[in-house]
Amino acid sequence: MALIELNNIDKIYNTSAVPVHAVNNVNLTIENKEFTAIVGPSGSGKTTLLNIIGGLDKPTKGSVVIDGSDIASLKSGALIDYRLRHIGFVFQAYNLIPVFTAKENVEFIMLLQGVSKEEREKRAVELLESVGLGDRINTRPSQLSGGQQQRVAVARALASHPNFVLADEPTANLDSVTAESLLDLMEELNEKYNMTFIFSTHDAKVIKRARRVVTLEDGAVKSGVVN
């Protein structure tokens, strides 16, 4: 069974006089352990599609089947719980809580899951060490570089033992050296822990690293090739 199956996905926004067809009849399968980039020009629908896969947005039509369950049919509360326990997110803007330390930011997902204090502290420290921030666990985001903040975000995404990680333009705010370092880390996590990564990106560095590239145009899949 595939990890993710998108079946006849449409997303239409009726926020203007002319409805916007952001995603148009997308059919896509993602297998375990993939390192896949969803690419396309601005407005092609890649971020919308990523949000639909992550349950942050619901399709107008179609099913989003993850490990055999259609998350598009879940009610709001059940969908929130599903995201919390099964999907990791890495955002372009990091989305760290500024008053929390790096360790507390990583712990927060586990706190919501009801994980014990001892276990979540142990896992947070282990994850921060795995992303090269073992010496910055008590540092707040404002005292970290952009690359370090994104590494905290990666550690946080992994904290819940997710089925897969969605990364929306994760290198957009990073210089090229820092971006390459972050991609090295993600590749290592993909290979070491068999973690599935799905990127939304226009960054050539990410596209070069991806082992599969899915191209969107006007909300529709135009190609899906293996690098």
Strands 212-217 and 35-39: parallel
Which element (helix H / strand E) includes 27? strand 20-30
- State the DSSP string of 201-223: ---HHHHHH-SEEEEEETTEEEE
pLDDT digits (tens, 9 = 90+) for 177-194: 999 999 999 999 999 889
The pTM score is 0.91
Report the pLDDT averaged over residues 53-76. 94
Domain 4-94+146-226 grouped into CATH 3.10.50.30: no
- Give domain limits for the chain: 4-94+146-226
Q: Within a 10 A sphere around the Cβ of 59, how many other Cβ atoms? A: 22
Per-residue confidence (pLDDT) for residue 171, from 0 to 100: 92
Handedness of CA 167, 172, 178, 180 (dihedral sign): positive
CA separation for the pair 109, 90 (Å, rounded): 13
Mean of pLDDT over the chain: 93
Per-residue confidence (pLDDT) for residue 93, from 0 to 100: 87
